[in-house]
Amino acid sequence: MTSFFNNVLRQIDEISILLENEYIDKKTFKKIISEIKKPQRIIKKTLTITSDNGKKISFQSFRAQHNNALGPFKGGIRFHLNVNEDEVKALSTLMSFKCSLAGIPYGGSKGGIKVDVSRFSQKELKKLSKAYAKSFSKYIGERIDVPAPDINTNAQIMAWMLEEYEKSVGYKSPATFTGKPIELGGSLGRNEATGRCGVFVLKEFAKKERLVPSKTKIAVQGFGNVGFWFSKFAKDSGFKVIAISDSSGAILNEKGLDPEKLNDYKREFGSFKEIAENKGFKFISNEDILELPVDILVPAALEAVINKDNAEKIKAKVILEMANGPTTFEAEETLLKNKKEILPDILCNSGGVTASYFEWAQNLQGISWSEKKVNEELKKYIVNAFNSVYSLAKKKKFTFRVAANYLSLKRIVDAIILRGFES
């Protein structure tokens, strides 16, 4: 399978061919594209902590900083066994595109620790979080690089990291981390923001395409923070969510599911498989949920779940990407050939980074917004981004991904030129 980062580079190559005609100085344009294809910095560290049983354990950790022409680097920190250099390079690049498209003043970054969190205690995860913040402290900061939660990290982990970072630099800097607890300067509405904004995209798309929500069947692959809130807000908006999955498999009900009830059951039973066994739901595999005959498929977990092995079997008319990079380049070619629409990740899941921007801005100003104001501002940003993508796609007969990438890349290129780029 093509590496995740190479998949992203292919997208840049594809867009740069279309974008080149916008620029008189082709030589400078091509040199700028070459710069954009390389992260500005990749930091790799080995972190060592003492485990609860007194043994020393070491972990690989990473931070990729892609491009800061539009503003400070911004991106999550994930704790996962799949974390590697290729992944953080790809995700930092996508984050640059996402921030550019959303119209917020950031460049992209991404970091992580290669770790299976299920094998470690809270005390050990606290040590690991603090070790990361201390080791990377000179590379991050409110005007340098602003981390946030990602897979298997949360507000508590951001709080531990903030405490260690402030110890390292010797002053208070709440704006260095976003996704923090409210008590430490976190923003109201941020926890739900990614899922909420995905549903803003869903609703705007439904209006444009004249879809009737109650007749629009949706399957959501993934039930973490993003999958849960997307499912809940989609149901609340009148859409029919008929299938949702977690890591154990998926629950299917053609009449529609109640995500809040499923969340309660998950707390009680631990997994969808156990819920199905105890509550009599129909249970299918994670592979099967991707192949259901629904109107909209929402991959909301890990990257590359839609790939060359299953692309031909995808029956959904529209793929709304809530995960980062859930569709491989090869799979996308197949889906487009089969007349499927793809609403891209850098548009659909930009709510989290947009809310993080609001949190950062509040911290820098020493103020706090109401949840109502946060949600109103989120809607403005995401609807504006959606309309820009939709209009360009229709005007130039682009796919939605090409339109989103075109707008994103142009803004980054323009920023680099305005800064006086010299080859």
Which residues are tagged catalytic?
110
**Two structure tokens written together for 45:** 């560290």
Give which of 220, 169, 261 is closest to 348, Cα–Cα.
220
Tokens 């498989």, residue? 273
159 phi and psi angles, rounded to 5 deg: -65, -45
Report which DSSP code applies to 188.
T
Q: What is the DSSP string of 190-227?
A: HHHHHHHHHHHHHHHHHHHHT--GGG-EEEEE--SHHH
Distance spanning both ends of the chain, measured CA to CA: 34
Q: What angle do CA 330, 68, 399 make, to 5 degrees?
A: 30
Give which of 58, 6, 61, 3 is closest to 37, Cα–Cα.
6
Give, to the nearest 10 degrees, the angle between helix 225-236 and helix 259-269. 150
